[in-house]
Amino acid sequence: MSYPHQITSLEQYHNDYRRSVEEPAIFWAEIAENFYWRKKWESVLEWNFIEPRIEWFKGGKLNITENCIDRHLEKLGDKPAIIWEPNNPEERTRVVTYSRLHKRVCQFAQVLVNNGVKKGDRVCIYMGMVPELAYAVLGCARIGAIHSVIFGGFSAQSIADRLYDAQAEYIVTCDGAFRGNKDIPLKSIIDDALIGNRTIKKVIVYTRTRTPVSMLKGRDVWWEDEMEYAETQVEKDNIITMPATEMDAEDPLFILYTSGSTGKPKGVVHSIAGYMVWTNYTFINTFQYKPGDVFFCTADIGWITGHSYVLYGPLSAGGTSVMFEGIPTWPDAGRFWDIVDKYKVNILYTAPTAIRSLMSFGLEPLKGKDLSTLKVLGTVGEPINEEAWHWYDEHIGKKKCPIVDTWWQTETGGVLISNMAGVTPAKPSWASLPFPGVLPLLVDENGIEVTEPDEHGYLQGNLCIKAPWPGIIRTTYGDHERCRANYFSAYPNLYFTGDGALKDKEGNYRITGRVDDVLNISGHRIGTAEVENAINMHAGVIESAVVGYPHDIKGQGIYAYVIYNHMHVDEELTRKDIFQTVSRVIGGIARPDKIQFVPGLPKTRSGKIMRRILRKIAEGETENLGDISTLLDPGVVAEITKGKL
């Protein structure tokens, strides 16, 4: 059995792609018919990329939780929706059926209502990877509140910035979270983030680690107490009654903050109907998901991958999604393979960083693990290098599982370019063909379409998209001009991805990396400006410049050049101090891998830092640095080269 809109042959792919380009309104209307609507749309698509204004299924009324839960209850009520694997393998697993998920989401929706949350309110969620995180996200969506999930690795300052930007009034958190051999004190980090905050009305705290926490009377409430009371409100004679709020197709579903080329994070806004249709369509087709398959996406829900392919994509398809609290190397490097074996996983979706990390442990952790149920493998977050691709193919897939190399972004909502497992051709380290509805274009720096192949026969340029797909970003929260400037201003009438790409004569795309000042660290985007701002907060730092360099595990590492205000610096101690500053301001994820103390930075006479030169030095290229005669002080380059780490 397959889904009505599942592509099952290469011929069908080409036919559907052509239809999606020639008749997008007819094509997407047919797909949208497969969902439950309170009221059908008046027009499928209205758009321009100048303002930008993008409206899919305009006039349609629906609730995404009815499409992710309620419509499955009759046939799939007793089937697992979420299988939860705890951090500690000795702890009890939890299997959440669709019926149980329905009850818990309705209960938590009632908890939100009881605490004053209304349609359109922003709710910040800062939790570990526990099923209650799913209940919180879907509970918000059920009553029309806008959820904003923040990854558990971000610092109090990063949370405070996001709370302020979203003007959030409510927080859902845990006392703490388990992650490998660490206990992360989430509630205490939230308390730090709330110093001076004047907008937060309620903090709902779930008990996970039994870490002692401070609970403020009138503001902080326990999840368990609230849920117990809500249960009496939503359940009568074993019938759950918590009606889903009717939402407009273009109402915001969530805000997810992403790092950009300026220091301030951007609140990417996705709307309900388009995002739902896109995550469902890409989930079913990328992975060739079949009803009953067990799908394991290893991402944290704090990132877009977790939103789209742990929760909304699989649940909208009536799928079974494995949710993992821990990390791939704890208590040992066989943890992923234990999970595949334990739950008979059919589809595994993870990051190249995780694959490269696990490769470094050799084949010992794979011994005795039954991976025979795997049918499809996937990668996400960054291009996968060929060595990792072949290891994944040979040792995990046993050369019988197609590997889908998916390219997409927080702003795209779901996969844009990828092979479809076993249906369209795979090419190691190439994302391959665009999805129906996705119209890529390679342009040069002047916005002119690239038509001349390079010496290898590839077209090479900046990757843009010519028309909207249903999952495209709608705005950046509270600042539409920033959305326009970031994504739609570089090249008129095009969405600019910020990535460079190659295209071969068969139409396959290979992503070559960021072309702006954004790093891709372990598949997560971090703006250089954000890291520099954090480094510059350290008392002794005069100025800094951050670039990326090749890293064996993470793909890209963070290399920081720092001018310090003391002539004789204890480098090791100062590095540790700067690490601590960055961790406190942003979080451990942004901590530099290398810090080189320098006497100055290569600047033009107008004061612009020449990152091109710093990037080359960080990459080990010290000879061909190009013309440095235009620099304010060309001599500084020799000093930096001499001190390279």
Domain termination site, one of 514, 546, 572 = 514
Whether residue 3 lies inside any domain: the answer is no
Whether residue 5 lies inside any domain: the answer is no
Assess whether 77 and 172 both reside in one domain.
Answer: yes
Q: Considering the entire predicted model, what is its pTM?
A: 0.89
Phi and psi at residue 137, to the nearest 5°: -60, -50
Assess whether 337 and 470 both reside in one domain.
Answer: yes
Assess whether 586 and 538 both reside in one domain.
Answer: yes
Give the helix/strand (H/E) hosting 203. Answer: strand 202-206
Assess whether 413 and 295 both reside in one domain.
Answer: yes
Q: Where are the beta strands (DSSP E) in 396-493?
A: 403-405, 440-443, 459-465, 475-476
Q: Could you give the CA distance from residue 485 to residue 96 in angstroms, rounded to a whole number?
A: 43
Assess whether 508 and 581 both reside in one domain.
Answer: no
Q: Three-class SS of residue 155?
A: coil
Say if residues 516 and 261 touch (Cβ distance below 8 Å). Answer: yes
Q: Counting beta carbons within 10 angstroms of the beta carbon of residue 36, is it exposed (0 to 12), middle (13 to 18) or buried (19 or more)? A: exposed
Listing DSSP states for 267-315 in one string gives EEEEEHHHHHHHHHHHHHHHTT--TT-EEEE---TTSHHHIIIIIIHHH
Specify the CATH number for the domain of residue 189.
Answer: 3.40.50.980
pLDDT, position 567: 63
Say if residues 409 and 452 touch (Cβ distance below 8 Å). Answer: no
Whether residue 158 lies inside any domain: the answer is yes
Assess whether 531 and 498 both reside in one domain.
Answer: no
pLDDT per position as a tens digit, 360-387: 899 999 999 999 999 999 999 888 888 8
Assess whether 51 and 71 both reside in one domain.
Answer: no
Please list, in sequence order, all residues whose beta carbon lies within 8 angstroms of the beta carbon of residue 120, skipping any fewer than 6 positions away.
144, 145, 146, 251
Structural domain including 557 reads 526-642
Whether residue 108 lies inside any domain: the answer is yes
Assess whether 44 and 72 both reside in one domain.
Answer: no
Overall number of domains in the chain: 3
pLDDT, position 69: 98
Predicted confidence (pLDDT) at residue 608 exceeds the cutoff of 80: no
pLDDT per position as a tens digit, 236-293: 878 888 999 999 999 999 999 987 655 678 999 999 999 999 999 999 999 999 999 9
What sign for the dihedral angle of Cα 354, 499, 602, 526? negative
Whether residue 21 lies inside any domain: the answer is yes
Give the helix/strand (H/E) hosting 47. Answer: strand 43-48
Predicted confidence (pLDDT) at residue 550 exceeds the cutoff of 80: yes
What sign for the dihedral angle of Cα 17, 19, 25, 30? negative
Averaged pLDDT score across all residues of the chain: 93
Share above pLDDT 70 across residues of the chain, in percent, rounded to a whole number: 98
pLDDT per position as a tens digit, 197-221: 999 999 999 999 999 999 999 999 9
Give the rounded distance of the alpha carbon of 482 from its chain centre.
Answer: 20
Assess whether 542 and 578 both reside in one domain.
Answer: yes
Among 112-116, 354-358, 575-579, the range with the most confident prediction by mean pLDDT is: 112-116
Assess whether 398 and 535 both reside in one domain.
Answer: no
Whether residue 102 lies inside any domain: the answer is yes
Structure tokens belonging to residue 340: 């595949």
Predicted confidence (pLDDT) at residue 299 exceeds the cutoff of 90: yes
pLDDT per position as a tens digit, 104-162: 999 999 999 999 999 999 999 999 999 999 999 999 999 999 999 999 888 999 999 99
Assess whether 458 and 324 both reside in one domain.
Answer: yes
Domain termination site, one of 212, 229, 245 = 245
| Helix (DSSP H) and strand (DSSP E) numbers for the chain | 20, 32
Whether residue 1 lies inside any domain: the answer is no
Give the rounded distance of the alpha carbon of 296 from its chain centre.
Answer: 16
Whether residue 213 lies inside any domain: the answer is yes
Confidence of residue 606 (pLDDT cuts 50, 70, 90): low
Assess whether 23 and 106 both reside in one domain.
Answer: no
Domain termination site, one of 245, 262, 291 = 245
Listing DSSP states for 48-100 in one string gives ETTTTEEEEEET-EE-HHHHHTGGGHHHHTTSEEEEEE-SSTTSPPEEEEHHH
